[in-house]
Structure 1
């Protein structure tokens, strides 16, 4: 099977394997230099053999790659694997000697005849690959060789032993290579070293994990990459967090579980009990396990049968043969046995050194409600966040509530657990806890808080109409009970109402704004949330100019807060989901918008707040879109989708349609818009209609369909949703000017002028200057175009800067100033192409052709220059920072860093970080912009 790359994304996620990659790099270089090489990659399932083959594909620039894989179902079909490999080359059969050509025709069923001698088949394949390699170095990859049919394995081994100087590389990957490959060079693929295994596991997690539990997982998987990647996918964040979940939650294959059960049942009773004890402790600390074993009367000799059965070993840590052995051991215990081992572990755990784990073991040892244990769990919840994030805190709080005997206290703890479940992304679990809350006696404050939580959940589930109703009701209930919480609920109600289309309907934005104005005063001095609420209420009731001073102050307060403060973090999440993001847009402050988004992403990552992380990722992706960093935006959007898949919650998705439009992908953008509108109708998310109209306006302007762009941009503009002007106004002004509709351009300018009188950021001033240039003439128009480009050049809004060069260049060409036009059209074309804004780049290319200059039509993949973000990453890598450290510095994930490094190496024509110092110019240490 011929392929360029069966999985282009996989190499981007590659972790470690420096030695193995070095061997493969040498093989590729030898093939490029005219030599031939054969190599067998041998390793257990999941060790990364296929990933190493994918790495070869990614690195084999200039080589032709063909690929085949053994298939169990085809092991009895002679030459099935060989046909996979050779099928793309059969157009060259006529170049082979007649006997060899006929041999291949016969075995592949192309022509009838008696079965040929396999020696002739081998010679034919050798001749075929040599002929292909005469034109271009050839690399043949054979995966799962252990499942090849015997005939194919024999022929390919024959070829591998007879390769000389044909510029051919032949690589096999196998669990246990067949006898035919005996004697060929081998590369054993073992488990990853601990440091690389930890890095890979961290990349697969979406929230924090107790380092001790992480080390235990790494030890028990023995560095197997597949096991490290798959284990987190099979468990919820709560099940992984800090080890504060039971192995019984882990899914087990029936056959594997039964196999382990039989092995466990054959052990002596004390050994089985020791295994259950060790299974209940996720840390694997030997002294702790032995102290607990002593309390249960288990003697040290009980470990010997477990070690002899290769199920458990005691060394620097207690390590099971496989994580599923741990699960089988725990599941095989009765409830009483589990309580006994947890009680022993609790008694053996130092209350000063590890109070949280002691509390957790005490909880699982408790036969019924126990306020002492419940109180200890509640005290552990705050500390748990430092190790396991919100999921761990939620697990503590839920268990504490279940053990609480007093109804009112139980309701309070259930509410706290539901709130933590919501933040961690477990929406169904949060709703289930709320049902338990509402079943018990509640006071007025608890009733309001329960309704508040239901509103927050509805907002995350994108049921905006329900969210507004619930949040407004909760805010009004809270007003006489707790003014601070009431104001928080009012801000969330405003944020939810911004997603509802009909501003003046009952429960719409107008009602939410008026309710916010009537809310009780906040504390003195006011918190960020209080100033945000006042600013939005002013904006929606008294207009833009009246609100700007308060909005400006609100943004300053939000940007100045300490993101490590948990209480502040709650305000930031409120703001991050809607309010602060919109404030930054209302004030046309691109730098503040990006800084705030980066802070929100980092805060959500650090605490494991998956719901907030999804919205923060979408927010940050939009700032990258404005900066023309489409690849970075795409990776953040992909991460949002991965979190959605893991939690079962919907992806945020709004920025994905915008990305497709900026890329000029009409079919993809239309598909996403239609899907978004269907969801919006079901959830009452009217703001999605405005998003859709804006997205279409970008798409239509890019493809030169300005009349259609004008109509959809005008619809979006008329709705005047807060925060949307920064998106819609540039599209409306351009489309209206291109269709001669000066009335609409002037309407846009009147709207912009109100903004520029109140806030004079370079972003809004640059867009206003460009809008005026579009309906001006002569020197006035030229001066305005130049002013717009100069102002936008001082901001992060580089996508609009590139389009400014395009519009100026188009104007210069119409003025018959071809030489001047080429300068700006060439700048626009280069910027837009590098960014991946293809439709607008094509506009620039056509305009350049009209000036008499030829512009090469290319995509971002052919660009040789590093983008600004790639330059930052390259310099940080050159300065010795690891992928996680670079990710922390630039507020992106380690996986995103690795993706960019692969592109950097390709562009710079190098193969490792060690070469960066040679190819990069001297530069100071860099950090986030």
Structure 2
């Protein structure tokens, strides 16, 4: 996948389009090493799949052989050389394959190549890709310049890549050509590339790599891959990016050694000092290198060789990869000398401490200095400082304390994998005083990863159903914003969103979840994101947006399957699907979702799920499946102790479930008691759901006037709260209540029950679903439709949707 380079890719598309239309041209990509030239040629080759593609690349070791590159490019056309006129074919054969190059007429060779390519292009448009032209032999460059200049008259597209414009240097610049100097990727595109190519980089390290690479794609990849897993996870020296990086070959090693391998030792030490110092400031480099025996002549030498770029008060490497190669290829003794010199130079205190750490191994004074520096830095940098302090500490207790401080900072920074590693390191020291802190960090890590503890915890189960106090949740979000605890903020927003759901404020909850999702994407928090996304899916289901809920649910499941994310998220998604099904009276579908959720491992059971499971089981005429969740719910409610904080509507849930499982006047009493409990505690949506169920029960008891009163009350609350997911069911029930009494036929001749069946069938419901909703058998539903079709003048249920309500009178 190619990132950025929009103008260059547009030029490629334009030239290929013109070539398909019968005229060609030239596009030259020029830029420094690793700037993406070869990738743009690959892009052109991929887009030219319907054309004939010839490709060759210059080779430094073959630059002294005349016509070497030309032979590679034209080799696929060797069989067509014999079709050229005798003189042209003979000239070309001697140059490319006969070895007689000294006596040939170069102009005739140019015309012969032009004729050969023209003949090939008449069969099919031709695309010629020449990579690394700066390493090609001079003779090939001159011939290709001659031929490319005339590309506009034939369907031949030329794409070349080079460090400098050799076509211009050869004196054969084509006026039809397009020269495109590559400026590298901007910060946004570079970040997007790293997120895709090196996904394990934490945001802070990614920002460092982007700044270091200066937009050069090869540097972005090579620098990232040179870092150790611990460094990629965030534990980096803030003043020397490559401190601790092992020597590893990159795409730049060979060229670096060829260009700079002969530099004097003093010049190498000066350049290594620049590599070890993150700042572009020349002053600390001069101070440190003077003690190493380097002089101004070494700085001049490094600048003239093309290794460094020197300003009035600044210095940096001419190419970002030179810094990587310079630091990684230095010996341990050289690096130690440079860091020691920097630690004794006139630099900020924190920088001196880190350079002292890079120059030494076990050293308690350095460890104490790093720990002190950590106190005054953000958590992301503090964790790295404590981690490095632990590596320098000689005493076991102090080492364990540093590891735990590093783990705590890593948790605060949201670096949970690193927090787990550091907690394990602290546990390995096995000090009793640290065990509680280790357990606390591991609990935080398990919370982020979604790993559930074995065995149900009644206290946790209870708290799952207790709406957080809205004010406390809002205060926590405000604290996270004001204190700069940005890594905690997504979880604070998750808690606030759940609290808002508990207060039936769906619109506000949705916005809070979305803000949390944006933060997770910016800061690289995939597990927290999937938790937010699953609750957003639940919120969408309650709001009646099944399409959005389904998309979010699919994304959650895909993440958990690929990355073993939080086990709770799929459970919330199942519940969201069940809520959507219940709102549309698809009780059997809801029953399947809730049964799967009830039996899934790693997902704690909750009272809300239990109550929904009872309702779906009863409405699906499978009351036996309601027994276990109802028993669990009643035991949970009656078994609460003073140490447990009760969900204030547990009694209401139990009463509502009892009503569903009862008949006659007993059911009525339970419905009224449940409604009273929900109204007392201000749970509006749960109260409206109770009114809906009570209205359905009254309608089926042929008490339509009373049913309409409760159904209209439920409709008003659902509308006010934005709980659109329940409105379809309420309004369907009201439509049934509006039917005529006594089963008398309507204007279309339909009886009341026939009209109800037709109405549901017109909305796409199947016979079993209609039977489930109207408490009929599927056979009775089929009989009603059989009698209704002739009255309506239709022959199939597909035609029902085209009828107006007044035509069907439902």
Query: Is TM > 0.5 for Structure 1 vs Structure 2?
Result: yes
Matched, 1:563 2:554: no
SS at match of 1:253: coil
Q: In the alignment, what sits opposite 1:750?
A: 656
Q: Any idea what the Cα deviations from partners look like across 1:668-711, whole Å, max 9, x if unmatched?
A: 97x888889xx69xxxx875784585487589999998635423
Within 5 Å, which residues of 2 pair with 1:57-72?
none
Shift in CA distance, 426/820, structure 1 to aligned 2, threshold 3 Å:
closer
Q: In the alignment, what sits opposite 1:378?
A: 371
Q: Any idea what the Cα deviations from partners look like across 1:20-75, whole Å, max 9, x if unmatched?
A: 5786798899999x9977562524575456887999999x9xxx995887677999
Q: Distance in 1 between matches of 2:616 and 2:479?
A: 39
Q: In the alignment, what sits opposite 2:288?
A: 292
CA-based RMSD of the aligned residues comes to: 6.2
Shift in CA distance, 724/557, structure 1 to aligned 2, threshold 3 Å:
farther
**How far did residue 267 of structure 1 move?**
0.9
Q: In the alignment, what sits opposite 1:125?
A: 124
Shift in CA distance, 266/79, structure 1 to aligned 2, threshold 3 Å:
closer
Please point out which of 574, 581, 590 is paired with 2:506: 590
Please point out which of 231, 249, 260 is paired with 1:253: 249
**How far did residue 810 of structure 1 move?**
11
Q: Distance in 2 between matches of 1:428 and 1:120?
A: 61
CA contact (8 A) 2:130 2:160 kept: yes
Shift in CA distance, 429/537, structure 1 to aligned 2, threshold 3 Å:
closer
**How far did residue 625 of structure 1 move?**
3.5
Q: Any idea what the Cα deviations from partners look like across 1:204-261, whole Å, max 9, x if unmatched?
A: 466554999568514xx4x324533664465404266745543551663267436535
CA contact (8 A) 1:38 1:184 kept: no
Q: Distance in 2 between matches of 1:675 and 1:619?
A: 15
Within 5 Å, which residues of 2 pair with 1:803-822?
815=756
Shift in CA distance, 604/370, structure 1 to aligned 2, threshold 3 Å:
farther
Within 5 Å, which residues of 2 pair with 1:856-871?
none
Shift in CA distance, 52/767, structure 1 to aligned 2, threshold 3 Å:
farther
Larger radius of gyration: 2
Q: Distance in 2 between matches of 1:622 and 1:228?
A: 34
Q: In the alignment, what sits opposite 2:387?
A: 398
Within 5 Å, which residues of 2 pair with 1:488-527?
507-510=455-458, 513=459
**How far did residue 788 of structure 1 move?**
7.1
Shift in CA distance, 144/406, structure 1 to aligned 2, threshold 3 Å:
same
Within 5 Å, which residues of 2 pair with 1:770-919?
800=725, 815=756, 850-852=800-802
User: TM-score under structure 2 normalisation?
Assistant: 0.59
**How far did residue 725 of structure 1 move?**
7.5
Q: In the alignment, what sits opposite 1:453?
A: 441
User: Which shows bigger deviation, 404-413 or 300-309?
Assistant: 404-413
Shift in CA distance, 28/324, structure 1 to aligned 2, threshold 3 Å:
closer
**How far did residue 301 of structure 1 move?**
0.9
SS at match of 1:246: coil
Q: Distance in 1 between matches of 2:685 and 2:40?
A: 46
What stretches of structure 1 of length at least 5 have no aligned partner?
Answer: 1-6, 82-115, 127-139, 466-499, 501-506, 514-535, 634-654, 823-845, 855-929
Matched, 1:711 2:592: yes
Q: In the alignment, what sits opposite 1:311?
A: 307
Shift in CA distance, 711/427, structure 1 to aligned 2, threshold 3 Å:
closer
Q: Distance in 2 between matches of 1:178 and 1:184?
A: 14
Q: Any idea what the Cα deviations from partners look like across 1:285-316, whole Å, max 9, x if unmatched?
A: 22222222233332111023323332222236
CA contact (8 A) 1:701 1:709 kept: yes
Q: Any idea what the Cα deviations from partners look like across 1:533-560, whole Å, max 9, x if unmatched?
A: xxx68647xxx6xx55x64454343344
CA contact (8 A) 1:47 1:191 kept: yes
Shift in CA distance, 408/744, structure 1 to aligned 2, threshold 3 Å:
closer
Matched, 1:42 2:37: no
CA contact (8 A) 1:274 1:302 kept: yes
SS at match of 1:267: coil
Q: In the alignment, what sits opposite 2:397?
A: 408
Q: In the alignment, what sits opposite 1:228?
A: 220
Q: Distance in 1 between matches of 2:710 and 2:222?
A: 57
Matched, 1:362 2:350: no
Shift in CA distance, 277/57, structure 1 to aligned 2, threshold 3 Å:
closer
CA contact (8 A) 1:210 1:241 kept: no
Q: In the alignment, what sits opposite 2:212?
A: 217
Shift in CA distance, 816/702, structure 1 to aligned 2, threshold 3 Å:
closer
Q: In the alignment, what sits opposite 2:340?
A: 343
SS at match of 1:238: coil
SS at match of 2:278: coil
CA contact (8 A) 1:370 1:404 kept: yes
CA contact (8 A) 1:730 1:771 kept: no
Q: In the alignment, what sits opposite 2:452?
A: 464
Shift in CA distance, 539/460, structure 1 to aligned 2, threshold 3 Å:
closer
User: TM-score under structure 1 normalisation?
Assistant: 0.53
Shift in CA distance, 22/702, structure 1 to aligned 2, threshold 3 Å:
farther
Within 5 Å, which residues of 2 pair with 1:263-278?
263-278=259-274
Q: Distance in 1 between matches of 2:687 and 2:177?
A: 65
What stretches of structure 2 of length at least 5 have no aligned partner?
Answer: 58-68, 78-114, 134-139, 196-200, 631-652, 658-670, 739-753, 764-795, 805-810
Q: Distance in 1 between matches of 2:43 and 2:711?
A: 47
Within 5 Å, which residues of 2 pair with 1:83-94?
none
